[in-house]
Structure 1
Amino acid sequence: MYTKFLLLFLFFPYILSSQTQKNTSFKTISGFVTYKNEALSGAKILVKNRNESAKTNFKGFYTIEAKTGEILTFDFLGLKQKAILIEEVTQTLNIELKTENKTPKLQLNKDLKLGGSSIGSLTSGFELVTIDAKTLNKNAATITEAILEKVPSFFTKQNKFGENLIYLKRQELKGPVLWQIDGFGFDMPFPIFIDEIKFIYISCTKLNGCIIKVETTINYDKIKDINFDNYYFSEEDYYNYDAILYENQKKYEPEYLNDFSDTSNSNEVLNTYKKQYSKYKDSDNYHFNVINYFQKTYKNKDILLEVLSDYEKFAANNPEDLKGIAYKYQELNEDKKALAIYRKVANLRPNYAQSYRDLANCFTDLKNYKNFWYIYANYLKKGFKIEDNDIGEIMASEIISNYTKGKKSNLHYPRIKINNADKISEADVRLVFEWNTSEAEFILEFVNPYLQTYQAENSIESSNRLILDQKKKGYTSKEVFIEKQTEGDWFVNFTYLGNKQYKPTILKVTTYYNWGKPNQTKKINVFEFTVENIKTQLLKLNKFS
């Protein structure tokens, strides 16, 4: 059996190289363009770098011919342009245009990563930085901007009030940096002119976190009309338990599920399913609706596997649907079945970084470390790189982990070593988020035991360049570390913003406990999202649970 398995793998590079690099034929893309949920008539759709355009009709509907790999831009006077890269599965693109955000942002970090920074790696270490006011940029708009120019380990994110909060890169889950101005503590600085600053001392330690201490020439007796209480976080800046549990989401249940209400055993369930299959299989999301219903109601793995098998045949050429099926197989601990699916996806998408990582990860789950290394050797041989982006960080983590395992076990495989001293190799918790479609848009929210929140947004509104990078390089994933899980509850929340298609988004969350340690364990949860703009609690993590 192992010999056959290895032979199949050895043909994998040939299979990949035999695939067509790009689909060069035209196809019709259609959908609706809206603004504030109203049809937008006269919006212009343009194929970038080619003289092909279309406009929406009075219902906001459009059609346009485009090729895989081309970029469509959506424009309307006074609204922010959106750019969408066409993939092989792209058919429907429903676009919501929004007004341009005129609020200035100080975010200087240019990494194309979900959330704008790489949560979870060790930041460039420093314990104390002293900044002489004479070296500050006198033209900086704020003290925050002046400090960002001096300390590359800092970056800012705006809260919902438009205030720029400073975070230490890769330590975002610990909350924003605190301020001490002339001996008094603040959560954010009150207005200070650059020429009023004498010195800035920045101390960062693992024990106390980061504090920016500012010494000024301000005469506080002469200051009027400033309410210093405004420069502390209000209750609205902290988590207020406004996420609903995933299982409490109100979802539309199609009528065909009523056929199962009178079934009392597994045989009856399967017979009813087989009778209705030919009638409903083409209905939107039929298979996943049935799978979710069976998983919740009957908890019978054999029934689930039968439906998943049918779904495999139905979705044979759709890599997004196939990924959702693979996620469910992994949730059910059917790693060999998941591997077979990821092989199909890799053959459909041979130039996607995610294809290689998913295969390599499956081989790790099967403890087939030799093929894990050959996957990445083949990846590098084909000219791909382990880049400084979200998928690159996941690859680096898993390569380091397997390198360490091989070193301890004296395994002699053609390994690839990642020389990255900043990468965390051990942590109390490692979270890997994966979603099946590159059109998915959402907000991830992390809440620490002090109820401080950190949000990472994956959307065109927050970063059109990031979405384009995900599509061009082929990845839909993100990792997050909780290096030291302090006592108390940690929450992981998810707000779904849609995916431009008439189908749900499937999200897989893998939680690794004691990552990189001898007692490492993991749990996989798969979620399906259709309801938009509702904050949903995915996980509640507790050190003692």
Structure 2
Amino acid sequence: MNKSTPENFTKFIVPLFLVLFLFVSNRLFSQSDREVKGYVTSLGNPLNNAQVAVKGTDNVIATDSKGFYTINVKPRQVLQFSYIGFETVEIIVEDVTSMLNVKLLPEVNDLEEVTVTGKSKVQKDFEEENGPNGRPRKMPTAMGYISTGGSSTYVKGESLNQAAVDLARAIDGRAAGMEVNNEGEIFIRAGNSINNDVPAIWDIDGMIYTEPPFIDIANVQDVLILKSLSQTSRYGNIASGGVIVVRTKGAYFAQRKQEVAATYGNKKVYSGDALDISKVITPIPNYLKDLEEINDSEKANTLYREYLKANSNDPEFYADVANYFFDLGESTSAITVLSDMETKFETNAEVLKILAYTLEEHKKKEEALSVYKKIFRLRPKYAQSYRDIGNAFSEVENYQKAWLMYMGYMNTQDGLTGSGVDAVIYREMEALYLKHKNQIDVDAKFALPDDKSELTYDVRLVFEWNTSEAEFEIEFVNPQNQPFSFNHTLEQNAERIKNEKLKGYTSEEFLIDDLGAGDWLVNIKYFGNKQFQPTFLKVTSYYNWQQPNQKHTVEVFKLTRQNIKMQLLKLNSSALKF
């Protein structure tokens, strides 16, 4: 059967009037300099004399004693942040970039400790994945790949004491200065240092535990014991007593085959460590505290105007107050607040996205469409602009214009990649063609499969975030308690983020063929966005995708708390019945 794919789609010439509309304004690629400022830190400490450079130019400055810098740069240029002994970070500057607070991590140095022998290495040694005796040169951890050399101690799982009562005792004695107490805690007495009264933490297949976990010793692939500060500093103060890195055989297999992203056939088990996002404690601004004490709409509007004087430059303020009025049932007041927001930030596409997300969450579809039109004029070469305005036209049932916008994007590309925003756009075009082809002027055809059920899914989730600098990890947990993660950080997924900026998109979709019995959990851990503003995450949940009883919901989450795993959604088959 022919599966509908981007490669099976024929191009189409966009009408001239549409081209003129799309390129009325092209502020995105303006070559005027922007002032970008921020702080460069590592593990919470400022880095003095860190180098900040515009890549490919002689525009280089150094941070001050507080790690602060200011530099002029053009949109689309690359800022390079570097410091001796730390991994270099590169960030593409965009049309709205004004602040970048960058965190540098210590670099992995395979030559931290070198033993000189009379035998020189040959090229084959460097080409092999493993070193002598099958010992890997690096091991994956929750903080990225770490060298197995230096002062660390590497232990093969097959050499552990299989008769030990637990993993801690199976490891006991394998590293100098190691002690295990009755509770199974491991204490590492390193070198000539004073006694360390802090137990080591555990990094099990990328999950961090402060208490000894239960693990089947026979399922351990290998263990890496980290003792030196250069190795444990990535973990922060929590690792002052050292780190026991454990890789299980299930995780090793998944890493070797690189198939864990496509399947859930991994051996990891979800530990239930996510907090319900609604129960995560976040500071409440004074303006919201005062508003929540008022039940009178007129007084609330007066109070809004008073607080506006001091908060007019804060996008979060407008979104919070608008949601307050929506929850109060005062839609007119909410729209007035959002109108003020639109006027204040009319040239800032990232803030306008917050506005559009808020309108969509409250089913103000025509108003959202108007905002997406404005974003398109600001960013006519962003892939996300095409997708968002096409989707917005579809939401107001103007399927012809939706189709033209999607086709406009198709004509800017030599071909679709089948991932990222390309997959999002193609799937939505596919749905338009299948459901509404009699209502649109289609000059191209999809090669749809004979069995349309191949296009159906129980759930389609589309995640969108307002700023390209947002870093996070989304975790999906299936009913069998097996987790799968999508990592969106510079450290772990730099190429993906680079592609997003070059192509201009901030979205991803996930599909669940069959919800089955039980609950699916969707969790997120937020790592910040290099600014002093929250990230707004829009999640559109489509149920019964491409089926007659399809429905969807839009939820917007304001992400402020960092490094806490939070549960966003709980999905089960009850959502498919209505």
1:466–1:162 CA distance, 2 compared to 1 (3 A): farther
Q: 1:333 aligns to what?
A: 363
Kept in 2, the 8 Å contact 1:29–1:63? The answer is yes
Tell me which of 459, 469, 482 is aligned to 1:452: 482
- 1:28 to partner: Cα distance: 1.4
Q: 2:547 aligns to what?
A: 517
Distance in 2 separating the partners of 1:10 and 1:315: 30
Aligned pairs for 1:486-525 (under 5 A) are 486-525=516-555
- 1:384 to partner: Cα distance: 6.2
Find the residue that maps to 1:544 and give its secondary structure: helix
Q: 1:98 aligns to what?
A: 105
Tell me which of 340, 350, 353 is aligned to 2:383: 353
Kept in 1, the 8 Å contact 2:264–2:482? The answer is no
2:30 counterpart of 1:17: no
Find the residue that maps to 2:474 and give its secondary structure: strand
Kept in 1, the 8 Å contact 2:55–2:79? The answer is yes
User: C-alpha deviations, 1:21-74, integer Å up to 9, x for none?
Assistant: 611122211100000011111111111111110111110001111111100111
Kept in 1, the 8 Å contact 2:264–2:484? The answer is no
- 1:294 to partner: Cα distance: 4.1
Q: 2:122 aligns to what?
A: none
2:416 counterpart of 1:413: no
Q: 2:228 aligns to what?
A: none
Distance in 1 separating the partners of 2:440 and 2:405: 16
Distance in 2 separating the partners of 1:78 and 1:406: 58
User: C-alpha deviations, 1:352-409, integer Å up to 9, x for none?
Assistant: 00000001111111121111121123223345643333100101111111111135x4
Of residues 413-422 and 325-334 in structure 1, the stretch that sits farther from structure 2 once superposed is: 413-422
Distance in 1 separating the partners of 2:35 and 2:432: 44
2:267 counterpart of 1:267: no
Identical residues among aligned pairs (%): 34
Of residues 311-320 and 380-389 in structure 1, the stretch that sits farther from structure 2 once superposed is: 380-389
2:103 counterpart of 1:73: no
Distance in 2 separating the partners of 1:262 and 1:141: 64
Kept in 1, the 8 Å contact 2:357–2:368? The answer is yes
1:479 is matched by which residue type in structure 2? E
Tell me which of 411, 427, 447 is aligned to 1:381: 411
- 1:88 to partner: Cα distance: 0.7
Q: 1:121 aligns to what?
A: none
Find the residue that maps to 2:455 and give its secondary structure: coil
User: C-alpha deviations, 1:431-476, integer Å up to 9, x for none?
Assistant: 0000000010000000001111111110101122211111111000
1:360–1:384 CA distance, 2 compared to 1 (3 A): farther
Tell me which of 316, 321, 332 is aligned to 1:290: 321
1:267 is matched by which residue type in structure 2? E
Of residues 13-22 and 413-422 in structure 1, the stretch that sits farther from structure 2 once superposed is: 413-422
Kept in 1, the 8 Å contact 2:406–2:425? The answer is no
1:294–1:49 CA distance, 2 compared to 1 (3 A): same
Distance in 1 separating the partners of 2:280 and 2:55: 39
Distance in 2 separating the partners of 1:275 and 1:249: 29
Kept in 2, the 8 Å contact 1:41–1:59? The answer is yes
Normalised by the length of structure 2, the TM-score is 0.69
- 1:140 to partner: Cα distance: 6.5
2:19 is matched by which residue type in structure 1? P
Aligned pairs for 1:82-481 (under 5 A) are 82-100=89-107, 141=130, 161=203, 188=249, 237-283=268-314, 285-295=316-326, 298-383=328-413, 385-407=415-437, 409=438, 412-415=441-444, 417=446, 425-481=455-511
2:538 counterpart of 1:485: no
Kept in 1, the 8 Å contact 2:319–2:358? The answer is no
Distance in 2 separating the partners of 1:507 and 1:374: 27
Kept in 2, the 8 Å contact 1:33–1:97? The answer is yes
Aligned pairs for 1:35-50 (under 5 A) are 35-50=42-57
Q: 1:532 aligns to what?
A: 562
1:264–1:518 CA distance, 2 compared to 1 (3 A): same
Of residues 379-388 and 65-74 in structure 1, the stretch that sits farther from structure 2 once superposed is: 379-388
Find the residue that maps to 1:468 and give its secondary structure: helix
Distance in 2 separating the partners of 1:522 and 1:239: 27
Find the residue that maps to 1:537 and give its secondary structure: strand
- How many residue pairs get aligned? The number is 434
Find the residue that maps to 1:527 and give its secondary structure: strand
Distance in 2 separating the partners of 1:272 and 1:41: 44
The answer for unaligned runs of 5 or more in structure 2 is: 1-14, 111-126, 144-202, 208-218, 220-247, 254-261
- 1:92 to partner: Cα distance: 0.5
1:511–1:100 CA distance, 2 compared to 1 (3 A): same
Normalised by the length of structure 1, the TM-score is 0.73
Q: 1:126 aligns to what?
A: none
User: C-alpha deviations, 1:215-270, integer Å up to 9, x for none?
Assistant: xxxxxxxxxxxxxxxxx95xxx4222221112212222222334324422223222
